[in-house]
Amino acid sequence: MTLNSGWTYREQVGPASAGRTVLEHLASTRHHSSSDVWVRRVERGEVEIDGRRAACGTILDAGQTLVWHRPPWDEPEVPTDYRIIHEDDSIVAVDKPSGLPTMPAGGFLNHTLLAMIRSLYPEASPLHRLGRHTSGLVLFARTRAAASELARAWRDRTVKKTYRALGRGETRTEMFVIDAAIGPVPHPLLGTVQAASEDGKPSHSLAVVLERRRDRTLFNVEITSGRPHQVRIHLAYAGHPLIGDPLYETGGGLKRHPGLPGDGGYLLHAERLQFAHPATGQRMTLTAESPLALQTGAELLTASALSP
């Protein structure tokens, strides 16, 4: 067993938690652990307020800094067979396997794409992220100038991202636009997660039918906005939730007993990225081949014919 180096979580206490005890705040905002677990952590000295060891009954004030020093832990195993699609002095593009987290979160710190890429390119910074069980292209900047230029391109919506997804049900329409707003909605374990919401942020997707299967449809989905879980939410909103999605149901809201955002079971792949190179301005199109389950019958036949 190999432990990681542990992690320090910091937050500034907001007005809503002023007057509450440390234990009340932690137990009510971090639903992944019970009150009893937080009691033990506080008693071991893992939690501080403004640099001083906290007690369970310490009363919080707005503006204070709350810190949890999470001790080293053994992370779950993940697939590590990522592929570098493109690299130069400014950027690195990687084909991430399903099951590998992009960024540290939850139980993952070293077992992430970011940690693996930084072992080769210490200066790399991710320009976006994919859900743990979404495979496909992730783009990293290698310089501050590249990061700034591509961040501006993302804000200006000049970066085009195309996904493949297998949705439930069939549609007679060959192409349709989905403009449902996406924002936080209540989740029984996490407090809130992103879903279709009238109070959410504007979001735009274009879904194109690639192939109809029995009670299923294979889609290409192009997005210009980049909301969390956008493809999953928008296809569900349109009546085609992803096969095996544990979180979203028809209409783009949560299932009656929803899973967690990081749970797997669905098929979603970031197949194509189109953007202007941050140093040269040249328009680039990067692709990562879709997994077999997301390829059309014609593509599979072609690949079979070309194989020796």
Percent of all residues in the chain with a pLDDT value above 70, rounded to a whole number: 99
pLDDT digits (tens, 9 = 90+) for 147-163: 999 999 999 999 999 99
- Work out the mean pLDDT of the chain and round it to a whole number: 93
Work out the angle between the directed axes of helices 22-29 and 35-43 (0-180°, nearest 10).
Answer: 130
Could you report the per-residue pLDDT of 171-183, keeping only the tens digit for each?
989 999 999 999 9
All domains in the chain, ordered by first residue:
7-70 (3.10.290.10), 83-297 (3.30.2350.10)
DSSP letters for 2-71: -----EEEEEEPPGGGTTSBHHHHHHHH-TTS-HHHHHHHHHTT-EEETTEE--TTPBP-TTPEEEEEEP
Question: pLDDT (tens digit, 9 = 90+) per residue, 36-63?
Answer: 999 999 999 999 999 999 999 999 999 9
- 97: Cα separation from own chain's centroid: 13
Least confident of 113-117, 222-226, 242-246, 269-273: 222-226
Cα–Cα distance for residue pair 118/241, rounded to 1 Å: 35
pTM: 0.86
